[in-house]
Amino acid sequence: MPARLANILLTVGALVAALAVFGVFAGFAGVSPVQVWMLLFKGAFGDWFAWQNTLQRAAPLMLTALCVALPARAGLVVIGGEGALVLGGLACAALAQALPLPQNWLGLVLCCAAGAIAGGLWVVLAGTLRQWRGINETISSLLLAYIAIGLFKHLVEGPLRDPASLNKPSTHALAAGLQIGGIAGSDVHWGIVLGVAACAAAALWLHGTTGGFALRVVGGNPRAAQLVGLPATRLVLLACGLGGAAAGLAGAVEVAAVHTAANASLIAGYGYAGILVSFIARHEPIAVVPVAILFGGFGAAGSLLQRRLGLPDASVLVLQGIAFVLILASEALRDRPWRRQPAPAVEAAPVAAVVSP
């Protein structure tokens, strides 16, 4: 437990350092760092309005982070969440357009399920290519993401296009009964509940069931998994499917709650940001929730920095970049005494002694 606390403190320390570096960076632009920090907090968590904005951004981040976290627990580095997300949004919009769905919760559930299935299958494809042909899933999922985006643009600007959408090609807007509304009249939609619930379910599955345990064995020690006869391929594909379904659901929710139709606004980089959220949460689904809220908050604070201080809107991108870099680099300081450290000095010397005559 103290080790876990130390790890959390390390991440927090890296975050504080990132804020300090960003303060200095803003200082060069002639802005008071203290004011920057105050506005960052205010824009992200300062009042109810800020919280609404933050949570709205955090919802898809939680789901796309799961698309990285679950396969990561099975030993895969999947970075194609963006592809699963856009296809999920597309499937949601396409189903609503193709079938006369009942305009109530049932139709909405069907739309979201279509998104989750589309996203799940897309990431399962990357997992299948790995298990079947030994193709590295990092590369194939990235390629698949670009193929998915191409497919998305083709269908949205072609067969599925609403002729009325002139400047911004879109599918037909979802019927009002199929849209996800705000919680209690606020701007925060039910996606945040879905995100938190998905993270909690993933954590329960990983830590409370034999299936989740088997998955962690497969990811932690493939040879041990093989020795005890775990169905590694099935578990890997399951993790890919569930992760992809989460990202697909993110796309469907973005369409049903925010954009109301599938269009290019869906390709906003949530898939890539989710990768970083998952890495910072160390692929722990429960930790994904606060990390996603934090980075949703940074995004939400951007417009306030721009309005009040005249900083370019890209300054939050800089802040996020600095924060991610420092938090990832802080991994090097993690002290895990129970794990044997590779000692390069010992490694190098004897080998050299053996090789040289």
Partner 1 sequence: MSLELVSSLLFPILGGALRVGAPFLFVSLGECLTEKSGRINLGLEGVLVLSAMAAFAGSYLSGNAWLGVAAGMAAGAALALLHGLICSLPRVNDIATGIALMLLGTGLAFYFGKPLIQPQAAQLAPIELGGWSDSPAVRAALQINPLLPLGVLLALAMGWGLANLRAGLVVRLAGDSADAARALGYRVAAIRVAATATGGMIAGMGGACLTLFYPGSWNEGISSGQGLIAVALVIFARWSPLRCVGAALLFGGAGAIGPALQSIGIGWGYHLFNALPYLLTLAILIVTCRPGTAAAGSPGELLSNR
Q: Which is nearer to partner 1, 158 or 185 (CB)?
A: 158
User: Exposure of 69 by Cβ count < 10 A (0-12 exposed, 13-18 middle, 19+ buried)?
Assistant: buried
Residue 180: what residue type? I
| Dist. CA 324–CA 2, nearest whole Å | 24
Q: Which is nearer to partner 1, 51 or 324 (CB)?
A: 324
Q: Which is nearer to partner 1, 158 or 229 (CB)?
A: 158
Least CB distance to partner 1 at residue 118 (A): 17
Q: Which is nearer to partner 1, 210 or 341 (CB)?
A: 341
Tokens (6 digits) for 276: 């970083």
Give the list of residues 6+ apart from residue 310 with CB closer than 8 angstroms, or none. Answer: 31
Q: Which is nearer to partner 1, 169 or 285 (CB)?
A: 169
Q: Which is nearer to partner 1, 113 or 151 (CB)?
A: 151
Q: Kindly list the residues in this chain that would bind partner 1 in the complex (CB under 8 A).
A: 77, 79, 129, 131-136, 138-140, 142-144, 146-147, 149-151, 153-154, 157-158, 272-273, 275-276, 279, 312-322, 324-325, 328-329, 331-332, 334, 341-342, 344, 347-348, 351-352, 355
How many residues in total does the chain contain? Answer: 357
Least CB distance to partner 1 at residue 335 (A): 11
Tokens (6 digits) for 198: 């998905």
| Dist. CA 319–CA 254, nearest whole Å | 25
Long-range pairs of 225-233 with CB within 8 A, sequence gap ≥ 24:
233/131
| Dist. CA 161–CA 269, nearest whole Å | 22
In degrees, rounded to 5, the angle at the alpha carbon of residue 275 between the alpha carbons of residues 256 and 21 is 110
Q: Which is nearer to partner 1, 108 or 322 (CB)?
A: 322
Q: Is the separation of the CB atoms in 309 and 36 below 8 Å?
A: yes
| Dist. CA 210–CA 129, nearest whole Å | 26
Q: Which is nearer to partner 1, 259 or 283 (CB)?
A: 283
- The structure tokens 């006869």 sit at 229
Give the list of residues 6+ apart from residue 40 with CB closer than 8 angstroms, or none. Answer: 19, 298, 301, 305, 319
Least CB distance to partner 1 at residue 32 (A): 18
Tokens (6 digits) for 298: 């940074």
Least CB distance to partner 1 at residue 297 (A): 16
Least CB distance to partner 1 at residue 64 (A): 12
Closest to 257 (Cα-Cα) out of 174, 179, 172, 176: 179
Q: Which is nearer to partner 1, 114 or 156 (CB)?
A: 156
**Phi, psi dihedrals of residue 32, rounded to the nearest 5°:** -70, 125
